[in-house]
Amino acid sequence: MNKEKFNNWLDKPEKCLIMGIINMTPDSFSDGGNLHSTNQAIDFAYKLIDNGADIVDIGGESSRPGANPISDIEEINRISPLIEELGKNTNCLISIDTYKPTTAKFALDNGVDIINDISGLTYDSEMVDIISNFNATVVIMHMKGNPKTMQENPKYVDLINDIKDFFTNQIEIATNHGIDKKNIILDPGIGFGKVLDDNFEIIAKLKQICDMGYPVLVGPSRKSFIGETLNSPVNDRLEGSLAAASACYMNGAKIVRVHDVKETKQNLLIIEKIIESS
């Protein structure tokens, strides 16, 4: 899928795109350490694409609660083989999950389409200029704190309005630095500085965030709010993840970021057909 087709799909009310997750990390919460070699990672990426991923999101640093940061060089070394392989041999959109400007510039120099910034452009002011210079798409995610501290008793005065206020501020920064509004995607950050009920409230009231006028990405897949509710380990959260992804779609999400691409694609296709028939 090329960038023009991507933007056209985002404008279609019944469409929801699938972002497949590839963690090139030893310590991510769900699947860290599962991909032990570059060849395994490449095979896994092609499997995601074959199963229906519209976007592949590659992460080189874990963002699980309590995770320690790594160096730019280590992050780039982890993601570069996949970027090179997919960039040469697929038309799938490639996203890089990073908040580091050096990593983002490397990725964009090598043909990546989307920067998925979990810091929401707050970590380093250089990031916004890099994205603007490349005319790239950015995912601005809301997170309270950072991965090391985000789950240390997060509290909100008014959850949804607090998130919307954050987005309003970061959108202004982005557009003032030349990022086109059509290149901005919002992510309310399920599991990032949120307690159990916060995550359910975000999904239930997602339309309020969608009404800001930007495509919304949501990543509920295998998150701890599902595990806590169902008393299920991380590798047994498929049904809960599908339910959450379905609710996100029906409440306006344009992209869902998931581990289980095939199952999510099939699930959302049925919902899409129901919406088209209404």
Give the residue numbers marked as catalytic: 223, 257
Q: Residue 51 to residues 1, 94, 127, 233, 270: CA-CA distances in angstroms?
A: 14, 16, 32, 24, 16
- How many angstroms separate the CA atoms of 199 and 65, rounded? 15
- Phi, psi torsion values for 151, nearest 5 degrees: -100, 15
Task: Name 187's bridge partners.
Answer: 141
CB distance 256 to 245 below 8 Å: yes
Q: What are the strands of the beta sheet with 93-97, ordered from one edge?
A: 184-187, 137-141, 114-117, 93-97, 55-59, 17-23, 255-258, 217-218
DSSP string, 71-124: -HHHHHHHHHHHHHHHHHH--SEEEEE---HHHHHHHHHTT--EEEETT-S-S-
Per the CB < 8 A criterion, the answer to whether 75 and 103 are in contact is yes
